[in-house]
């Protein structure tokens, strides 16, 4: 699904530069559910952003679904993002003046899908996350868990190959977190490849594989026995 070889990334800070990623090698197969863990500053978010083509690596190789991702123009990157990737953010990042349905339909709009088809598909995905009745509500009328579910529906709408989640439960309480994780596990059961950044052990244990980062290198990469979130809900 994706292969990363000797990936380096540094950020300029004033005159010096901060070396965030110091040669990452990672390979993820289709259908995997990977948690990337690490303390803050370990480079986990940076890695996710590079995988999500939101950021660019300085050095190294990144191949996504057989396509080498290198020196992309913004236009190409946008098209790949739209085609391959779905994003879930910690702060949901819904567009606050669009209702749930419109938010979910947005990636489809950028795919150039017809309006009616778009609405139907968005409604289908909203139904999947159990928010059909909330389709015409604005984000500020929804609870945190509902917002994240709308965001998940939006990430799924374009039918991406890879779902990237940056601390998807970071802004939610434990109960809601487990509900969200249950959704994500269901998606994985249906065959979606999922990559998630988290610093919570219990959330990480709900994935099938944990990659631990420290100071820009991979310390540990283990497959774990998945804890089903449904047991807690």
Partner 1 sequence: MFKFLTDRDTWQEVFDSLSKNKLRSILTMVGVWWGILLLIGLLGSARGLENAFNRLFGDFATNSVFIWGQSTSKPFKGFQEGKQVQLTLTDAKKVEENIEGIEFVVPRNQSQATVVRNFLSGTFGINGDYPLLDKVQKKKLIHGRFINQNDIDDNKKVAVISENVYKQLFEKDEQAIGELIQINGMNFQVIGIFEDGNINMGPSSDMHIPFTTFQQIYNRGDRIGWMMITGKPDYDIKQIEEDAKLLLKNLNRIHPKDNRAFGSFNLGNEFAKMTGFLTGMQFLTWFVGIATLIAGVFAIGNILLITVKERTKEIGVRRALGATPFEIKRQILVEAVFITLLAGFMGIISGGWILILLDWAFGQGEDAAIVNASVSIAVVFIALIILVVLGTLIGLIPAFKATSIKPIEALREE
Instruction: Classify residue 209 by its DSSP letter.
Output: E
Residue selected from 52, 139, 145, 216 as contacting partner 1 according to rule CB under 8 A: 52
62 scored as a contact of partner 1 (CB under 8 A): no
C-beta closer to partner 1: residue 114 or 225: 114
Nearest-approach distance from CB 82 to partner 1, in angstroms: 2
CA distance linking residue 203 with residue 126, whole number of Å: 24
Smallest distance, partner 1 to C-beta of residue 39, A:
19
Q: How far apart are CA 175 and CA 209, in angstroms?
A: 23
CB nearer to partner 1: pick between 216 and 229: 216
If the CB atoms of residues 75 and 225 are measured against partner 1, the closer one turns out to be: 75
Crossing angle of helices 144-157 and 100-111, rounded to 10° = 20
Cβ 165 vs Cβ 151: under 8 Å: no
Of 8, 22, 83, 208, which one interacts with partner 1 (CB under 8 A)? Answer: 83
* 100-111 vs 74-84: helix crossing angle, rounded to 10: 120
The answer for residues whose C-beta is within 8 angstroms of residue 159's C-beta and 6 or more apart is none
Assigned token pair, 167: 């601390």
Instruction: Spell 168-181 as b/e; 16+ CB within 10 A means b.
Output: bbbbbeeebbbbbb
Q: Is 48 or 180 the residue whose CB approaches partner 1 more closely?
A: 48
Q: How far is the CB of 177 from partner 1 (least distance, A)?
A: 22
The 3-state DSSP class for residue 11 equals strand
- Closest approach of partner 1 to the CB of residue 108, in Å: 9
Structure tokens at 14: 């004033």
Q: What x-and-dash track marks residues 108-147 binding partner 1 by CB under 8 A?
A: -xxx---x--------------------------------
Q: Which is nearer to partner 1, 65 or 221 (CB)?
A: 65
Interface with partner 1 (CB under 8 A): 49, 52, 54-56, 74-75, 78-79, 81-83, 87, 89, 93-95, 97-98, 102, 106-107, 109-111, 115, 154, 158
């Amino acid at each position: 699904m994706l292969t990363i070889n000797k990936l380096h990334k540094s950020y300029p800070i004033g005159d010096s530069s901060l070396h965030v990623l110091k040669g990452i090698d990672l390979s993820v197969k289709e259908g995997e559910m990977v948690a990337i863990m690490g303390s803050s500053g370990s480079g986990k978010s940076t890695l996710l952003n590079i995988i999500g083509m939101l950021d660019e690596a300085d050095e190294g190789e990144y191949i996504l679904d057989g396509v080498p991702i290198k020196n992309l123009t913004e236009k190409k990157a946008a098209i790949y993002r739209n085609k391959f990737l779905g994003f879930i953010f910690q702060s949901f990042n819904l567009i606050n003046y669009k209702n749930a349905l419109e938010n979910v339909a947005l990636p489809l709009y950028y795919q150039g899908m017809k309006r009616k088809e778009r609405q139907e598909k968005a409604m289908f995905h909203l139904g999947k996350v159990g928010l059909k009745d909330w389709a015409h509500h604005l984000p500020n009328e929804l609870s945190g868990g509902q917002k994240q579910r709308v965001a998940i529906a939006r990430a799924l709408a374009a039918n991406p190959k890879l779902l990237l989640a940056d601390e998807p439960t970071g802004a939610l309480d434990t109960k809601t977190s487990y509900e969200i994780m249950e959704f994500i596990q269901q998606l994985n059961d249906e065959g979606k490849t999922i990559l998630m950044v988290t610093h919570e052990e219990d959330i990480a244990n709900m994935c099938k594989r944990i990659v631990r980062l420290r100071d820009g290198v991979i310390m540990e990469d283990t497959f774990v026995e998945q804890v089903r979130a449904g047991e807690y809900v």
